[in-house]
Chains A and B, each alone.
Chain A
Amino acid sequence: MRGQSRKESLSDSRDLDGSYDQLTGHPPGPTKKALKQRFLKLLPCCGPQALPSVSENSVEDEFELSTVCHRPEGLEQLQEQTKFTRKELQVLYRGFKNECPSGIVNEENFKQIYSQFFPQGDSSTYATFLFNAFDTNHDGSVSFEDFVAGLSVILRGTTDDRLNWAFNLYDLNKDGCITKEEMLDIMKSIYDMMGKYTYPALREEAPREHVESFFQKMDRNKDGVVTIEEFIESCQKDENIMRSMQLFDNVI
């Protein structure tokens, strides 16, 4: 008996999906999990509609993580949805897919990619804010559609669109207004990206002072928060900001 059970365990370890029971010759009683596994394996990589279900399974079933892949909608659809040309979309997708072969970016990946552009400082906090801004449906991952949608607004949108997007970035809890704490977090994350070795050296109060001057400029009614209208209005009155928005016209 003992030997037999040992043999069984050996053969089971060989037989990975356990579809064949050495002892009885019948497939073992199918467990719910095994069934789901086999079913999902049979499915081709799913489109965006099935994305939520796949990612749910992938979260609970580690076995499935390696087979998750996400394919974006077709090129034509993306062309309609965004303001990029076909070639631009191709270039963007190639770069995207190179770094994220699975088709979606999660927060860790995102932070790691972004940190490669700022070797000296710590860009992880700002990257988190960016990630939250790109991840419009808040599902913890940025797909190519999200990515391209965000880029389309920033690079091809009107100034108002851009300002809207920036406001969305600053509004961490997405409640429609920016508080001083939120702004302080943003400011600190931007200063963090510079790193420790700067000239002049970073002072402790610099972010706070910067936030104060920002609120002075933006907060019309001095109620301690900046709403979207205040924000857009103030930015439109500022020459520098308007001019800097033009920078994004030629990025791609």
Chain B
Amino acid sequence: MAAGVAAWLPFARAAAIGWMPVANCPMPLAPADKNKRQDELIVLNVSGRRFQTWRTTLERYPDTLLGSTEKEFFFNEDTKEYFFDRDPEVFRCVLNFYRTGKLHYPRYECISAYDDELAFYGILPEIIGDCCYEEYKDRKRENAERLMDDNDSENNQESMPSLSFRQTMWRAFENPHTSTLALVFYYVTGFFIAVSVITNVVETVPCGTVPGSKELPCGERYSVAFFCLDTACVMIFTVEYLLRLFAAPSRYRFIRSVMSIIDVVAIMPYYIGLVMTNNEDVSGAFVTLRVFRVFRIFKFSRHSQGLRILGYTLKSCASELGFLLFSLTMAIIIFATVMFYAEKGSSASKFTSIPASFWYTIVTMTTLGYGDMVPKTIAGKIFGSICSLSGVLVIALPVPVIVSNFSRIYHQNQRADKRRAQKKARLARIRVAKTGSSNAYLHSKRNGLLNEALELLGTPEEENMGKTTSLIESQHHHLLHCLEKTTGLSYLVDDPLLSVRTSTIKNHEFIDEQMFEQNCMESSMQNYPSTRSPSLSSHPGLTTTCCSRRSKKTTHLPNSNLPATRLRSMQELSTIHIQGSEQPSLTTSRSSLNLKADDGLRPNCKTSQITTAIISIPTPPALTPEGESRPPPASPGPNTNIPSIASNVVKVSAL
């Protein structure tokens, strides 16, 4: 029952009075309207725009958000209205649906935004009214194409886990851009196709005279050379065909495909020629077969997208072409007949029969006008002129249809190409956004530690290093942090921009060995100064090495377990920060590092102790010490979270 006539239900119930007197059995009880409250106006505040409607209007569709009790979740007690933080423009359409029972799709609206809104309000898009359904479906299809394109290329870009040799070969054949070998193969075959076609053409060119015989075409003069060339080309084509056949995922389908038929037709004449050599009876047929060699030129369609589009267009315009052909045939027959009978009277007329007149009609209708057959009688001339005039019209009619089809397909292809070209940029944007957010997280981690350190120190001298993060961001970061703690891993971001700046922070931290391990595992080792360790700017393997270190419980020098490069950078960083903290200059040797660290420790004991107090409790590496405690404050190099140095086991007491 359409909701629009829900208002007429009382009328329908009243109309039942006609049944009462004729009924033989008693009527069932009517449903009681328990709380017979008056219909009330409710206010829907959508992003500030207030819509008002009757409650019963919304209750017409009880399986949607607005019609069910789900809207109570959005009820704002203070203002006594329902507040939705959604698009008011689309809400207009949604509300009209309740009012009129018809859902419309506004053309200016983006299709995915509209779909999202409908999904939010619990309305199925299938009930869009007929007036707008076409438009909606078209837009939806375009969007789906776009998404499919994206998915396809994404799938292509992911490194296929393990493609069999056969599959790689097939991929190489289909997309020459996937590997250099495929590209080489592509160009080589293209070259040989061109060579083959050119030899076919040049074969027939008259090539100068050999003294003592008439002018020969090149093919016969240099027959050996041409034969060799031909053989070479055919060999290449055969090899290519066999390779494709081998690599094809479905051989049966491959054999039936157009391209493979063209391949076969292109190389068959050669083999047939080999088989029947110099047999006079069939040499005529052999010559005919040579004609098929020209089909090699169609092999170019693998190399040219435009050719493929043309072929596809012609296929899709088959009906228009058929119509064109049919109408032309009709016209030709009519005019040929007329011309024949008109010219029958004149002597020595070339119009000997109706089929003979066909030639005249065709030449005239297509406005070629060779002039080998011309009408001589007056009637013939009149009909001849009518014929040529009508020819122009008949041919001109179906052509625009074919052209528009071609243009549509061509533009579709162009759109796909454009999407592919823009995809790179788009993916880069997405990647930047993702790394941006994880960078933000790591920034904040570092800054949070620093801030905590500063707070504890009570020294306002250092500036707040990072930008203030919103509450949402900080909660998000806390969440990521908890995940890190849970898994014992930590986020890695490869961004050489996050370079180390020398800081002026004097305190540096040290932690005991265990904490160091833990921090190693969870800290993100991303920001190496590009000047110092460019090799580490992006090394996704690091996290794994980091984690693999878990097993090593006791390390005299935690550093020693790290891969050399990382170690080096750590040392360098340690060096930096040590320098930053105005330590005596250190060598980069490991042992001395530790010593120096020890040395450096003393003066800063005070500060570092405070900061490390949070984490000095030797908890097992996997657990977070307590609450919001971050990993040990980052080294003073403000952009690194690397816990600077671990000395030998150093227990830091609370104070």
Contact = CB atoms under 8 A, between A and B. Distances in A.
A28 B12 CA distance: 53
A170 B18 contact: yes
A91 B14 contact: no
A151 interface: yes
Contact of A116 (B5, B21, B32, B33): B5
A51 interface: no
Contacts of A130: 15, 18
Contacts of B10: 92, 95, 151, 155, 251-252
B5 A99 contact: yes
A251 B13 contact: yes
A94 interface: yes
Interface in A199-243: 210, 213-214, 231, 235, 240-241, 243
Contacts of A154: 14-15, 17
Contacts of A87: 38
Interface string A5-38: 0000000000000000000000000000000000
B355 to A, nearest CB: 47
A117 B20 CA distance: 18
A126 B16 CA distance: 10
Given A98-B4, A240-B25, A114 B19 contact: no
For chain B, the bracket of interface size reads 20 to 34
Contacts of B38: 87
Given A95-B8, A99-B5, A99-B8, A248 B14 contact: yes
A166 interface: yes
A40 interface: no
A87 B40 CA distance: 11
A250 interface: yes
Contacts of B4: 98-99
B14 A151 contact: yes
B14 A99 contact: no
Contacts of B25: 240
A248 B9 CA distance: 13
Contacts of B21: 163, 166, 170, 214, 231, 235, 241
Interface in A114-140: 114, 116-117, 119, 126, 129-130
A252 B13 CA distance: 10
A173 B14 CA distance: 22
A186 interface: yes
B9 A155 contact: no
A244 interface: yes
Given A87-B38, A154-B17, A251-B13, A113 B8 contact: yes
B53 to A, nearest CB: 11
B17 A98 contact: no
A154 B13 CA distance: 10
Given A162-B17, A241-B21, 11 more contacts: A117-B8, A117-B12, A151-B11, A163-B21, A166-B18, A187-B22, A214-B22, A231-B21, A244-B23, A247-B27, A247-B30
Interface of B: 1-2, 4-27, 30, 32-33, 38-39
